């Protein structure tokens, strides 16, 4: 079926307290694995294109791979721009057929600030003060509103971001690049993460002023973590959710504890007001972004195949097991998010049926 908008899907997920997986795909095999997994789970799915993938594959390849997958699938597929940098990029993606956009005002503002000051690695104090400044809030409102007005004219929804969801690289100077993720991050890092949290009152005002359709909120997750050891601030989520009443988005989910059972198994005790992905679904999170975990699953299998078959010359024989491993991982995540069975449509699947047939 043709690509669909994320608007109605996220509103339904928000009402019914389940999450829609928003998976980052970087090549054809990943796109296929994610769409096939969604189809087997009968789940709606969001495929999102990151800034890195836009540079790697180019806008047309990235968009058309997902469009082709959607056309063949029987479940609803959304093509979403992840962390859009500015107005112009959002316009280009809208023209290219994206059915869901994002503007990340915090990242855009920090990039502009780096360019203006010539300081490529500003200190945490500088970042934190900028992110939480009135000036940053107003600029985020101004540009998000422009993008919302433009996108809504074409019935395309927009995700915005408030607070800053950091990257694990931001803390390498403190934890070291070889951090093994077997325990929670040091308290000093946790305090820095908390300083970047979204403010509930600002969130309410932001949503009213911009009319954005969903909101990514900094509430404890960190991009790029290799294991799920980070809890979310559930109380903060609850407050933002009741003030904004729109679907909230979790970024950096690979680093978040998935369930209390997982927390117990790894010996991590979430504190008071803290919780897991499972908890977050009850407090307004309706879209869950997954990237790092997918890349690790894919690349671990490629590595294993290369080690087991050092003489292999056929790239397809290396990639096929990686695609299969990824598909099974995505199915597990879809079940965790509760979206299995939520993507029934009247369309007939054509996935895997498009091989060239010899005419009779």
Q: Catalytic residue numbers?
A: 82
Q: How far is CA 334 from CA 38, 280, 288, 302, 338, in A?
A: 7, 15, 10, 23, 6
Q: How far apart are CA 308 and CA 265, in angstroms?
A: 31
Site string for Zn ion, 212-231 (x = CB under 5 A): --------------------
Helix, strand, coil percentages, rounded to 5, for the chain:
55, 10, 35
Q: Site for Zn ion (CB under 5 A): which residue of 7, 80, 251, 327?
A: 251
Q: How far is CA 133 from CA 142, 144, 155, 327, 354, in A?
A: 14, 17, 32, 42, 53
Q: How far apart are CA 255 and CA 227, in angstroms?
A: 5
Tell the residue number behind the tokens 């969604």, with chain if given.
Answer: 38
Nearer to Zn ion (CB atom), residue 195 or residue 251: 251
Nearer to Zn ion (CB atom), residue 69 or residue 84: 84
Three-state SS at 33? helix
- How near is the Cβ of 309 to Zn ion at its closest, in Å? 35
Q: Which stretch binds Zn ion (CB under 5 A): 24-32, 73-81, 200-208, 244-252?
A: 244-252
- How near is the Cβ of 221 to Zn ion at its closest, in Å? 9
Nearer to Zn ion (CB atom), residue 65 or residue 290: 290
Q: Which residue is nearest to Zn ion (CB)?
A: 251
- How near is the Cβ of 249 to Zn ion at its closest, in Å? 8
> Measured over all CA atoms, what is the biggest interatomic distance in the chain, rounded to whole angstroms?
71
Nearer to Zn ion (CB atom), residue 27 or residue 291: 291
Site string for Zn ion, 289-318 (x = CB under 5 A): ------------------------------
Nearer to Zn ion (CB atom), residue 156 or residue 216: 216
Q: 359: Cβ–Cβ under 8 A, 6 or more apart, which residues?
A: none
Residues 24-43 close enough to bind Zn ion by CB under 5 A: none
Q: How far apart are CA 13 and CA 286, in angstroms?
A: 6
Count the residues of the shown chain that bind Zn ion, applying the rule CB under 5 A. Answer: 1
- How near is the Cβ of 289 to Zn ion at its closest, in Å? 5
Q: How far apart are CA 340 and CA 141, in angstroms?
A: 35
- How near is the Cβ of 102 to Zn ion at its closest, in Å? 9
**Residues binding Zn ion (CB under 5 A):** 251
């Amino acid at each position: 079926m043709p690509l669909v908008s994320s608007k109605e899907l996220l509103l339904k997920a928000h009402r019914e307290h389940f999450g829609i997986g928003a998976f980052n795909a970087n090549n054809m095999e990943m796109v296929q694995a994610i769409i096939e997994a969604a189809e087997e789970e009968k789940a709606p799915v969001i495929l999102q294109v990151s800034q890195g993938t836009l540079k790697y594959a180019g806008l047309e390849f990235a968009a058309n791979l997902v469009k082709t997958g959607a056309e063949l699938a029987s479940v609803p597929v959304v093509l979403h721009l992840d962390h859009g940098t500015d107005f112009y990029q959002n316009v280009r993606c809208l023209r290219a057929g994206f059915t869901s956009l994002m503007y990340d005002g915090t990242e855009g503002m920090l990039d502009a600030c780096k360019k203006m000051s010539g300081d490529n690695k500003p200190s945490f104090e500088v970042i934190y003060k900028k992110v939480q400044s009135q000036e940053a809030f107003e600029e985020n409102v101004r540009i998000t509103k422009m993008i919302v007005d433009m996108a809504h004219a074409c019935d395309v929804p927009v995700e915005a971001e408030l607070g800053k969801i950091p990257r694990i690289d931001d803390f390498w100077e403190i934890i070291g690049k070889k951090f093994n993720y077997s325990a929670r991050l040091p308290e000093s890092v946790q305090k820095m993460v908390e300083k970047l949290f979204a403010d509930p009152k600002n969130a309410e005002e932001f949503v009213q002023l911009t009319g954005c359709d969903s909101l990514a909120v900094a509430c404890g997750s960190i991009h790029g973590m290799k294991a799920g050891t980070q809890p979310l601030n559930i109380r903060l989520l609850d407050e933002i959710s009741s003030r904004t009443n729109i679907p909230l988005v979790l970024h950096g989910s690979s680093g978040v504890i998935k369930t209390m059972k997982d927390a117990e198994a790894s010996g991590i005790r979430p504190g008071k007001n803290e919780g897991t992905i499972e908890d977050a679904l009850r407090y307004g999170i309706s879209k869950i972004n997954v990237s790092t975990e997918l890349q690790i699953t894919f690349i671990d299998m490629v590595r294993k195949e290369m080690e087991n078959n050092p003489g292999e010359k056929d790239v397809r024989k290396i990639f096929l097991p990686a695609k299969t491993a990824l598909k099974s991982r995505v199915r597990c995540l879809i079940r965790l998010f509760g979206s299995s069975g939520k993507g029934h449509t009247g369309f007939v699947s054509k996935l895997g049926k498009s091989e060239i047939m010899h005419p009779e």
